[in-house]
Structure formats: C-alpha cells, structure tokens
Amino acid sequence: MAVAKGIAEQLERASWIRRMFEEGARLKKERGEANIFDFTLGNPEVEPPALTLATLRRVATEGRPHGHGYMPNPGFPEVRAAIADKLRREVGLPFSPEHVCMTSGAAAACNVILKSILDPGDEIILLAPFFAEYPFYVGNHGGRVVVVETDADCLPEVERIAAAITPRTRGIILNTPNNPSGRVYPAALLRDLESMLARLPNPPLCISDEPYKSLVYDGRKVAEVAALISQTAICFSWSKSQALAGERIGFLALSPRLPDWPQMAAACTFANRTLGFVNAPALWQLVMAEAADACVDVAAYQHKRDVLCAGLSTAGYQVNRPEGGYYVFLKTPIPDDVAFVGLLGQAGRAGGSRRRLRPGRLHPAVDDRAA
Amino acid sequence: MAVAKGIAEQLERASWIRRMFEEGARLKKERGEANIFDFTLGNPEVEPPALTLATLRRVATEGRPHGHGYMPNPGFPEVRAAIADKLRREVGLPFSPEHVCMTSGAAAACNVILKSILDPGDEIILLAPFFAEYPFYVGNHGGRVVVVETDADCLPEVERIAAAITPRTRGIILNTPNNPSGRVYPAALLRDLESMLARLPNPPLCISDEPYKSLVYDGRKVAEVAALISQTAICFSWSKSQALAGERIGFLALSPRLPDWPQMAAACTFANRTLGFVNAPALWQLVMAEAADACVDVAAYQHKRDVLCAGLSTAGYQVNRPEGGYYVFLKTPIPDDVAFVGLLGQAGRAGGSRRRLRPGRLHPAVDDRAA
C-alpha cells in the first residue's frame, strides 16, 4: 500500500521543512546544543494569559452537564454569541451568532472556507511572500494558486491584484500582520482594494487570515479588514494571541455584508463537519466564551523583535523591521539566498538552514503551523 | 459570492438531516416537548469516566511548561508511546510511537488516511449499511465510493467484496461494531477477508473505524481487525467510550505489518497538518496519556438497548438486536420506509422523521458525528 501520487508529490515539495530540521539537528550535534539557536518554528515561548488559565481550570473543574458532548457543529450558542459580540465591538458590523462558526484554529477556518467556495480549477490569489501552508490548503479543495508579487516593502499593489483576477478567481487570502514579512497593511490600501473589488460583477471573497492580529508593535492597531472590504470571511485563531497553538481553537466569521451569507454559513458548517473537524474542541470553546479578549504580553515580543533586529542590523543585514507577528524577514546580501545560507552554515555563525522563499530574500522564521 | 457547486450539491444530498431536524422541531411544537423522543443523534447521555475527569482537572491545573503550544504534528512523544503500548497489549503487534498519529477524533483520522491514499478516481469500498458521513470523507479527497451490500444479518460477504475490487480500489472501510446495524463482525469473517486480500497483488488498505469498539454487550469482545488483517489502519476515537464527542480526541495507527508504513506515516503527518488539524488538541492528548483505557459504564448502555429492543419487539417490529454501539436498526414493516415514517408521524406514535438508508430498512438513530 503506497501513498497516493498527489500526496507523494506534495511531500517532495514540502521536503525543505525536513531538510531544515535535519540541518539544524546536524549542526547541533556538530557544534553543541548551546551554539545553535533554533528560529525555525513559530511556537509561543510564553505561557497563556492568567485569565485564560484561570478560566480553563474553572471550566475543567465545574463539570457543566454534557459539556464534553456534541454541540451544534458551528459551536455552543453562547460561545458564538460572545464572539459575535466581540466582532460587533471590534469591526463595527452587525455580526450575529449565525455569522460565526467555531473552528479548530485558523488553519481549520481557512480549509473550511476554501472548501465552501472552491470547485476544481477555481483560483485563489496569494500575495507573496505568503504563509507556506496556503498552497496546500488551496490544493486540498481542487483550487489553483495564483501568486501576485508585492512591492519592495512587501505591500500589496491593487493594480497587480486587479490584473490577476480572472472569471475563475474565487478568493484572495489577506494576512495582516503578514507572515512572513511582519507588514501590517494600511487602511488606505485596503480601501483601494475594496474600490477595485466593488467594481467587479462577481468580486472574489477576501479571506482574512488574522492569527497575528493582536501581536502588533509600537502602538499600532491593525486595520479591520472586514470593516473595509465588503465580501470578507475572517479566519481567527487564539494560537498566537493566547499562546494556545497546540489546542486548536479559533473561529470563522462571515461578514454580515456578504449577500449570500446564510447559504455560505450552511456550506461552512457542512465543510467543518465533513472535513472531519466536526466541531471545535468543546472545552476551549467554553473557555473562549469568557476569555476571548485575553492576550499575552505583547511588550515582551516587541522587546525580542528589537533585540533581534538591532543585532541583525549591527551584523550588516538589511532588515524589514516587523510591525507585527513574531518573525523577521531579511534581505539576503547576495542574490542566491540558498547559497548564502550555505555560507552561513559553514561559517558557523547561524543555526539551522533557511528556506528559499523567493530570490533575494532570506526568511529565517517560517511555518508557524508546521512542526 | 455563492458557494461552490460541489458543496451545494452535497448540501442538497445531505438535506435529509435538516429535514429530520425540522420535522422533529415541528412535531415538538405541535405535540409538546414531552411527547417527542429524539433518537436522531448519537450524543453521549452519560458523563466522562471519573478517571478522565480527574486527569483533566490535574492536567488543566498543573500547568506543564509549553503544554498548550505546538508539539510535533503527530502528537506528544509520550502520548504516542502510551497509545503504542495500549495497541501492543490489545492487538498483539509491535506498535511503536512512530505508528501512531494523534488526531482530532476518528472523523479526522478517516480523512487523514483517505487523503494519504487517494488520487482522483481511486475507489473506496463501503459495506452497506454504513455511517452516512463516509461518502463525504471519500469525496473530500477525490475518491469514488463503491457500495457493497451485506447479507440479511448485515454481515459482509467476502465474495461480494472480492467481486467489487478493481485496479483502482485503494481501501475498504470496516466499522465494527457497525454503525448503524450494531453488528460485531466475527473473527472468522475477518480471517476469510484476509485470505482473500492476501492473494491480491496490491491489496487495498483496510481502514478500521473503531469508535464503538468498547461499547459491546452481553460479554462480547470485538475481534481486533489489525490482528487479523495485515494491511490495516486503525481510526480510533474516545468520543463514545469516554463520552467526549465534543472534544475531538482520537488517533490513527498504522499496522506494523504495513510494508511501507514509514512512508505512509509521513504522508499521514503531512495530511493531518495541511488539512488544517495541525495536531490533536494538546490538553486532551495529555489526558489520554494516562486515561486511554477508561470507559463509561457499558452496562447502562446495554440496559437501554434492552429496554428499547423489548419495547420495539412488543410493538411488533422486527429488530436487529445490536451487539454493540448505541443505535437500533429496524426492519420497516412495509417496503417503503419513508412512507412508513410518514404514517408513524401521522399516528403520532414516534418522534421526528427518519432517513431512508435502503429499501426495506428503517433507521432511527443515525449520524452520530453530525449535529
């Protein structure tokens, strides 16, 4: 019983992840654990907020009757109500519980919405640089990825996006703060995007993947994509904001401005069920009914960013100083980034190998969902 | 933004679920809540075992460092070791942690293994009557369902299965105790199946979906599919045995006798990650490292089965007395089961409507994973 051809090909394409680990392990063995710093995975270093942990202890102890059993597939009604309330406050649109489907994190939410809109051969636009898992999510549901480059500051260009849209374009994945660039998309840019999309007869769905929304620095606030772009689905996760990456809890929310949202909500509920998620973990849903707004100490992440960026600048790197998220996206000093990583490995001045994202870029911290 | 054609068609096919709910709600409104008994969903009535709840409280309270963060995608190493140990004891084969991938329940495990073996157009054999979600799981990954009927006692017939196998057959889903028939497949039958499969040049994978394995009655023990059929993948869930259906915790285990199991394990890890599960919920993994063998009181379920079967027999029904699981599969007294359900609804002697599984069968308790 051999594995399917399709997944064998994907494994081959994804093998740089394995090579990165293998190289890191090799270097640690060669030079000692203490001499190799592993920046490869976006696993929260900190513990969840005190409110989250206290709520978890209480929910786990109080024993709500049937609290561990099935609930309606989109989630406990009062949890969905709490999230709708949060979204009304933050986005300023009339979200109801029916717009919200609790999911096993943002990766689940992305797969659920993609399954709901994609027929084979339909297209999804990705803005480079993008989270390396998106192409797999799109491929799961028969979709085709269309990559649109961003400008030198990693900001999307509306004209380029417009030029990439075809009759098969069903969605655009927006990710702000962006992984891996750390760029927060300005409100004006989102407004321009909306102007362009609103002129189309069948505008694609904006899939706003927002796991890093709370992790922004220097007093920034992330512009609410759903407030600025009419046809939006929000994919949210508490993995980063509450350091719960292993627990798989988040939500998918459809904008009340989506004309066919009840039909889309039915499709998402069905996709969430039949993809095998069935529902988001019950216990964590109940925790989030009370702790949805809790957040880790963002100042600590900002401090780490400052230390890392200062060190890299001193070493002579040209650094895209991240405005949010917890990764740093560097410019490689020589055009071939893979060759440069090889040089670094020989010099013994950096840990692990790095992946090629696109020529002229170096990307040391990737793939927060892939261990 | 309309939903995809593919999912719209699936929603249409799945609409009997909605109709069942709507009819139940209508009847409750018409005749009062107390007069309509809802047997439509397999949601555990009981609470999880004391050991499970005590372990949950301790794990939630003790605060293991990074216990809520990412772990390797197939699960915490010590959890996988505990499951491998359990499987060595129960199946009698040399399972190692590398054979085990912790999953968000058995529905996740089924989707993960199906994605790992299916290319578009490949075939999966289902033995009727089968769990109504399987066709959706197969379709998610481009597979084609081939239905093979069972005998009058709902037991598979090896010759019929053999006749249905083609060069595109990649798997057979076995489900014992079977949902919905309640039939436990005898060891001799599984041995005959193995004899037939072992003669094939490329035997299909036996996907053994075992969520009801612990819920068997009258002192029965379920024959271990992986012990009797060489090329087996086990899909397990604690949803039923520990009344944790809403928490989404289970595992996928590859038989050590699968020739290419390391490659298959890599494919499953990748599928688990990229389908959006990423990993099974961390907290519940840690609970299962200690409470994997806990089980609800099976005698209470057996008592309910006895009460229900006695009542149905007294009422004149021909009942397939379930050997396991928590559903009853009846023979409809007139050939058209849907017409009979209509008559029952008018008579006001039963709650809700029922679904048509196949002519001549009546199936009141369906779809345990679909709320």
Q: Give the mean model confidence (pLDDT) for residues A314-324.
A: 92
* pLDDT tens by residue, A262-273: 999 999 999 999
Lowest mean pLDDT among A203-217, B3-17, B71-85: B3-17
Write the secondary structure of A53-95 as one string of H (helix), E (strand) and C (coil): HHHHHHHHHHCCCCCCCCCCCCCCHHHHHHHHHHHHHHHCCCC
Say yes or no: A243 contacts chain B, CB-CB below 8 A. yes
**B63, closest residue in chain A (CA to CA):** A53
Say yes or no: A275 contacts chain B, CB-CB below 8 A. yes
> Cβ of A56 and B57 within 8 Å?
no
Rounded to two decimals, what is the model's pTM? 0.92
pLDDT at residue number B42: 67
> Cβ of A248 and B278 within 8 Å?
yes
* Selected residues 117-146 of chain A with any CB under 8 Å from a CB in chain B: 117-120, 122, 133, 136-137, 140, 142
Residue A330 has pLDDT above 80, yes or no: yes
> Cβ of B283 and A283 within 8 Å?
yes
Average pLDDT, chain A: 90
**B112, closest residue in chain A (CA to CA):** A276
For B5-47+296-347, CATH gives 3.90.1150.10
The alpha carbon of residue A333 is apart from the nearest alpha carbon of chain B, in Å, by 32
**A76, closest residue in chain B (CA to CA):** B246
Residue A38 has pLDDT above 80, yes or no: no
pLDDT at residue number B17: 63
Residue A364 has pLDDT above 50, yes or no: no
Residue B360 has pLDDT above 70, yes or no: no
pLDDT at residue number A29: 86
* pLDDT tens by residue, B240-258: 999 999 999 999 999 999 9
**Domain definitions of chain A by residue range:** 5-47+296-347, 50-291
- Interface mutation target, options A5, A274, A296, chain B, most CBs of B under 10 Å: A274
Percentage of residues in chain B having pLDDT higher than 90: 76
Domain B50-291 has CATH 3.40.640.10: yes
Residue A357 has pLDDT above 50, yes or no: no
pLDDT at residue number B18: 66
- Interface predicted TM-score of the whole assembly (ipTM), two decimals: 0.92
Chains A and B form CB pairs within 8 A to the count of: 263
Say yes or no: B96 contacts chain A, CB-CB below 8 A. no
> Cβ of B69 and A43 within 8 Å?
yes
Residue B177's nearest CA partner among B144, B125, B213, B151 is: B213
Enclosing H/E stretch for A343: helix A337-347
Among B65, B70, B248, select the one facing A41 at the smallest CB separation: B70
* pLDDT tens by residue, A55-88: 999 999 998 999 999 999 999 999 999 999 999 9
The alpha carbon of residue B200 is apart from the nearest alpha carbon of chain A, in Å, by 12
Structure-derived torsion over alpha carbons of residues B45, B49, B54, B56, reported in degrees to the nearest 10: -60
Among B107, B276, B282, select the one facing A278 at the smallest CB separation: B107
Q: Give the mean model confidence (pLDDT) for residues A319-328.
A: 91
State the Cα–Cα distance between residues B365 and A98, nearest whole angstrom.
27
State the Cα–Cα distance between residues B151 and A39, nearest whole angstrom.
58
